[in-house]
Structure 1
Amino acid sequence: MANLFRAGELYGGFLYIEGALHHAPVDNVRLPVGGASNEYIVQLIEDFGVDVIASEPMKLASLAEHIVRSRYSAERIELVLFAGDILFNDLRPLLSRAFPKAAVASLGYASVDAGLVGGPVPGEDVRIHEAFPNRTVVEIVDDATGEPITEPGVAGRVLVTNLFRTLMPIIRYPAGDRAEWVDPQCRHFRLMGRSGEGARLGAVSMPTEDIRDVLIAADPDRIITGMQLVTRRWDGRNGLILRLASLDGPPAGLTERLIEAVYEARPLYPAEVEAGAIHHLQVEWVARDGLVTNPRTGKLVQVVDERPLLE
Structure 2
Amino acid sequence: MDGKFSHAREAIAFARKNSTYYKRLYQSVQQDEPDLEDLPIIYPDEYWNSARTDLSSVMTGPFTTGNIYCISGPSNKLETLQLSREEEFKLSRTKSILWRGILDPERGERIVNIMSPHDLRLGFWDTVNTSNGMVAPESGVQLFISNEKTMDRIIEEVERFQPSVVFGSLPDIIRLSEHLGERHSTLPSVRVVLYLGGAIPRGITQSLHDGFPNARLYPPLYAKPQLGPLGFPGAIPTGIYRDVDPIYRVCDYVAVLEIVTDDGIVVKEAGVKGNIVVTHLIRRLQPLIRYPIGDVAEWVDYGSRIFKYCGKASTKIKVANTILDWSTLKDITSDVMKTDVSGRFQCILRLQDSCPKLVLRLAYPKPSEAGELRHNIEKVLWNTSSTWKSDRQAGAILCLRLEWVDDILLCVGETGEVLDVVDER
TM-score (norm 1): 0.75
Q: Which structure has greater strand proportion?
A: 1
- Whole-angstrom distance in 1 between the partners of 2:165 and 2:348: 35
Corresponding residue of 1:231: 349
**Structure 2 stretches lacking a partner, 5+ long:** 1-110, 238-242
1:117 shift after superposition = 0.5
Q: How does 1:1-311 map to 2 (within 5 A)?
A: 1-6=111-116, 8-11=120-123, 12-16=126-130, 21-22=135-136, 29-35=140-146, 37=149, 38-64=151-177, 66-68=179-181, 71=183, 73-76=185-188, 77-83=190-196, 85-86=197-198, 89=201, 92=204, 95-96=207-208, 99=211, 101=213, 102-121=215-234, 122-123=236-237, 124-132=243-251, 135-143=254-262, 146-150=264-268, 152-156=271-275, 158-163=276-281, 165=282, 171-172=288-289, 174=291, 176-183=293-300, 185=302, 187-193=306-312, 197-222=315-340, 226-247=344-365, 249=367, 251=369, 253-294=372-413, 298-307=416-425
How many equivalent residue pairs? 297
Shift of the 205–57 alpha-carbon distance from structure 1 to 2, 3 Å rule, reads same
Structure 1's 297 and 120: CA in aligned 2 closer, same or farther, altered over 3 A? closer
CA separation of 1:159 and 1:283: change in aligned 2, threshold 3 A: same
Q: Report how far residue 278 of structure 1 moved.
A: 1.6
- Per the TM alignment, residue 75 of structure 1 is displaced from its structure 2 partner at its CA by 4.2
Spell out, residue by residue over 1:20-76, the C-alpha distance to the aligned partner (whole angstroms, 9 max, x if none). Answer: 7448xxx9944241536344432233223223311122332443454455x251242
Give the direction of change, closer, same or farther, for the CA distance of 1:141–1:223 in structure 2 (3 Å limit). closer
SS of the aligned residue for 1:260 comes to: helix
Letter in 1 for 2:227: A
* Bigger mean CA deviation after superposition, 111-120 or 208-217: 208-217
What's the C-alpha RMSD, in Å, of the aligned pairs?
A: 3.8
The unaligned stretches of length 5 or more in structure 1 are none
Q: d(CA) in 1 for partners of 2:295 and 2:396?
A: 30
Q: TM-score, normalising length from structure 2?
A: 0.58
What is the identity, as a one-letter code, of the residue corresponding to 1:99? Answer: G
Higher relative contact order (CA 8 A, sep 6+): 2
Change (3 A) 1:262 1:100: farther
- Between structure 1 and structure 2, the one with the greater Rg is 2
Q: Does the aligned pair in 1 maintain the 2:333–2:341 contact within 8 Å?
A: no
Higher helix share: 2
